[in-house]
Chain A
Amino acid sequence: MPKKGETIKTVSFAALVSLVAGVLLLWAGMGLKDRISKNEKVKKYSYILRALGVSIPENCSADKVISLYHQSVKTEEVNGVERYLYKKDGAVVSYAYPIQGKGLWGTIKGFLAVDPDLCTVKAVSFYELKETPGLGAEIQKSGFTKQFKGKKMMRPCGSGDIILHVKKHGTANKKIEVDGISGATLTSVAVDKIIVHGIQAVAKTRSGHAGAPVGGERQ
């Protein structure tokens, strides 16, 4: 058994070190909080802007992205589904739906942007994920996301038959489907689920949607 005095010394040393480390981190965390949350907000905004097809000038400052966002993007809720819309000259150019789901290592969050017909994909992007860098994280790269552009989500338009899927690498019919990431099959499967979920959210907003062509009657 160690002596009593030694134990007290050990415990107080541990407490002191923890206290110093804790105070240091608290101080740093408080000092950096505003910057970090602003960075995250700008990132989210620029993803929404890009998904909606609003062009962001190069080397755009953080404040400019925020004001551009407030100028061009509106949010609304239709049948319990939240979506972002971009109007130009009074007409809706595109809608963006937040999508999310479980990936391999954590939640994947992104946007599914669609044309005003609510049938054709305009863009898909992912802004938050914890997938493996170089493998699953490649779903953020344009090489993967550009495959979604122009794809029809269901056939016939407006029906419940979802035809847009992410398939295991090398097995997709590239005319209607999206080719998954090689070596990241689990992430690709997760993305497929997230996209299907997103398309269902899009379909939900359809009934409250005026002026859109309604294809099939099956729901």
Chain B
Amino acid sequence: MSNKHIKTIKDGFWAGNPIFVQTLGICSALAVTTKVQNALVMGLALTGVTGLSNVAISLMRNVIPHRIRLIVEMIVIAALVILFDQLLKAYYFEMSEQLSVYVGLIITNCIVLGRAEAYALQNGPFSSFLDGIGNGMGYAAVLVTVAVFRELLGSGGLWNHRIMPASYEPIQLMVLAPGAFIMLGLLYWVFRGLNPVKEEK
């Protein structure tokens, strides 16, 4: 893999992190982060879907009529997500039970469509694949980080195991929606402090 390819992945993961820099995928980042396990599987599912949809769109990039490109992108994404959901139901039933509606909601995740529009339409299949993987991993990393704090503080454990001492009273707020906003906001602050992004005027 050349340096250029590694940079493509790194850009998606860090410099152009989908959540903190592009501000996409916030909804699911708030919703599925009550437990680390859910956050991780959701992150992996999105990584797979973004990578594959980027490849498919990139292969068609020279033949897609410009006027219907969004519709075509949606068809590709929806088909992949349904396929993934069915595979999960057939082979990892318990996991699909855990994630319930959120797998289906990957269809509406702006990151997938965003990368198809912003990257796959202009680049070759291999770098598009890497871009999708990089962005997916950037998203997954943020989700898992948020979930670690929320599960630890809100349920007193990690990966469904209690690790806080018995005397620790879980903070209910952390598993509720406001806890997600607070946690994501704090992480946003830390991330932007470490990785200043020039705002366009």
Chain A contacts to B: CB under 8 angstroms: 2, 6, 9-10, 13-14, 17-18, 21, 24-25, 28-29, 32, 35-36, 39, 43, 105, 130, 132-135, 137, 182-183
Contacts and interface: CB of A to CB of B under 8 A. Distances in A.
Given A13-B63, A183-B172, A105 B90 contact: no
B186 interface: no
A17 B75 contact: yes
Contact of B86 (A17, A36, A182): A36
B83 A133 contact: no
A184 to B, nearest CB: 9
17 contacts: A2-B67, A10-B65, A13-B63, A17-B60, A17-B72, A21-B76, A25-B79, A25-B82, A29-B86, A32-B87, A36-B89, A43-B93, A43-B97, A133-B38, A133-B99, A134-B35, A137-B100
B71 interface: yes
A41 to B, nearest CB: 11
A21 B90 contact: no
A184 B64 CA distance: 46
Interface in B67-91: 67-68, 71-72, 75-76, 78-79, 82-83, 86-87, 89-91
Interface residues of B, number: 34
A183 B79 contact: no
A14 B65 CA distance: 9
Contacts of A133: 31-32, 34-35, 38, 98-100, 102
A21 B79 contact: yes
Interface of B: 31-32, 34-35, 38, 60, 63-65, 67-68, 71-72, 75-76, 78-79, 82-83, 86-87, 89-91, 93, 97-102, 172, 175-176
Most buried by A among B82, B83, B90, B99: B90
Given A25-B82, A32-B89, A133-B32, A10 B67 contact: yes
A17 B76 contact: yes
Contact of B68 (A13, A28, A36, A43): A13
A135 B100 contact: no
Contacts of B99: 133
Q: Which 9 A-B pairs have the closest CB atoms?
A: A134-B34, A21-B79, A35-B90, A10-B65, A32-B90, A39-B93, A36-B89, A183-B176, A36-B90
Contact of B65 (A6, A36, A39, A183): A6
A29 B86 CA distance: 7
A33 B72 CA distance: 27
Nearest to B154: A134
